Amino acid sequence: MSVFGTIDNPFRQLAPGTTLSTSVGGSGLIVLISSLYKMAIIFAGVYTLWGFIAGGYIFITASGDTKDVHRAWDKIWQSMIGLIIVASALVLGAIISFVVFGDATVLLSPRIYTPN
């Protein structure tokens, strides 16, 4: 036994006749990419919410100044357009996934194939 314990070779060969099956949650790079994808969607939602709040605050504190009112409406519209872009990207990904793979969740929640 070494200082680091027992180390197994992660690059083992598949036995003849071994088939590949789908892993339940994936592992490694697929989990990382999926987590980053979900985190980006959450970040876009929070950023949109912050844009609505900031635009509303600017609108409330404008006190009739047309320049601030236009700036507030610009902020609100930009937030709404960003939300539409993020939502349409999700819908487009599901449509492409359904057309190409026959399942709408393939691109939205990827899986990797592993040995049995």
Task: Please report where in the chains the tokens 């088939």 appear, as a residue.
Answer: 19
Task: Please report where in the chains the tokens 């899986």 appear, as a residue.
Answer: 111
Q: How many CB atoms lie within 10 A of CB 55?
A: 20
pTM here is 0.61
Q: Which helix (H) or strand (E) holds 114?
A: strand 113-115
Strands 113-115 and 20-22 come out as antiparallel
pLDDT digits (tens), the chain, 116 positions: 567 677 666 555 556 666 555 555 556 676 677 778 778 888 998 999 999 999 999 999 998 889 999 999 999 999 999 999 988 988 888 888 788 878 777 767 766 555 55
